[in-house]
Amino acid sequence: MARTLYERITTKQTLNRVKEERMPFDWSINPYRGCGHGCSFCYARAFQSFIGMGAEDEFQHHIFMKSNAAEALEKQLSSAARKFDYDIEAMGRSIGQVTIGTATDPYQPIEGKEGITRECLKLLAKYRISTSITTRSPLVLRDLDILTRMENVSVNISLNTLNGDMIRKLEPASPHPEGRLDTIHRLSAAGIRTGLFVAPVLPFLTDKESELKDLLSQTKVRGVSFAMISLLRLSRDVKKWYIETLKHQFPEVVQPYRELYGQGAYAEEHYVRSFKSMAARLLNEYELNGLTTGASAAVASESGTIASGTSQEIGTQEGARDHLRSRDLAAPAQPRKLPQPAAPVSGKELMPDIEQLSFPF
């Protein structure tokens, strides 16, 4: 097994402006480069070329940690506050939506030790910035003490199958499906708007309608507010690594993949049309198509495809059976212990400096 190298780096700015016009959020934060979850299909593998690295094993086993991310973020936000004469509400409206985890998971394993994401989240709460988080990890529950004090926040849990064996073969170090279901349940119970990102759906592996219905059913009963279903996109660098993984884990689908993605990063048009139709129908059936700004943004960044539609009543006996089965499984048999922060957040940490200076006469 390859040994993971963790390298500390510094950044000039933590908030990065999103220049792509179709993205409905304005800023992104990624406390790490590379990801310990090691998902073989991750679109962010392609970003490694920007820093002279490959999209293959280095992505999982050479993690860059932006050790000064919180300090750089404080500098950016305090500067913005000064421009608005410390009118925090006006500043927040001007900044708009900030999304954490657009490139790599902000709650990957090393975050449990480093806490870089947690420190950044404190600052977003302090300056009352509208925030969306995308993760695969139950570690996000550690930060419930901050999330529950934020005025405009949503958390999107990525899960594309309930098949634990499939997860382990293609996402070698990511959390088990049951842990992610439990995370949705606990976030929702705490009053956090929680979404499901069925992303990416993998052709020939996780694209069966019955399996997607079960996934939507299981998450809805746990309190998920909305869902997104997005099809796999394979850029050139990612495709090479993913196909090699399939050769070892699911060799029977290698040739079908080569035919389906033979023309480039996207599946052939007929398959895409059929998939999008099914996805929209399932979101309607389970009434989970109320996408938030952060949700639709992350979808677009991953696949360029958003599945949505209008609400309608569940009208099939099969759908009713799915919901009944889900209710029976809603609560985990053995409640897991919540991850705990090294120290609970204090009220002072989440209060803008200008408010700390005020006092009654």
- pLDDT at position 79, please? 95
- Determine the average pLDDT of the residues in 186-196: 98
What's the pLDDT at 265?
Answer: 95
Specify which residues 131 forms β-bridges with.
98, 153
pLDDT for the residue 330: 43
| Res. 18 pLDDT band, cuts 50 70 90 | confident
What is the rounded average pLDDT for all residues in the chain? 85
Task: Please report, rounded to a whole number, the percentage of residues in the chain having pLDDT higher than 90.
Answer: 71
CA distances from 68 to 10, 72, 116, 120, 261 (A): 6, 6, 8, 10, 40
pLDDT digits (tens, 9 = 90+) for 19-68: 765 555 679 999 999 999 999 999 888 765 545 555 457 888 999 999 99
Least trusted range by pLDDT, from 272-286, 309-323, 342-356: 309-323
CB atoms within 10 A of CB 121: 28
pLDDT over threshold 50, residue 301: no
**Interval 314-333 mean pLDDT:** 38
110-121 average pLDDT score: 98
Q: Quick one: pLDDT at residue 305? A: 41
DSSP β-ladder status, 27-29 and 16-17: antiparallel
Token match 């996780």: residue? 206
The SS3 call for residue 29 is strand
d(CA 356, CA 354): 5
pTM for this predicted structure: 0.85
Over residues 152-161, mean pLDDT: 97
Burial class (CB in 10 A: 0-12, 13-18, 19+), 4: middle
DSSP state of 140: G
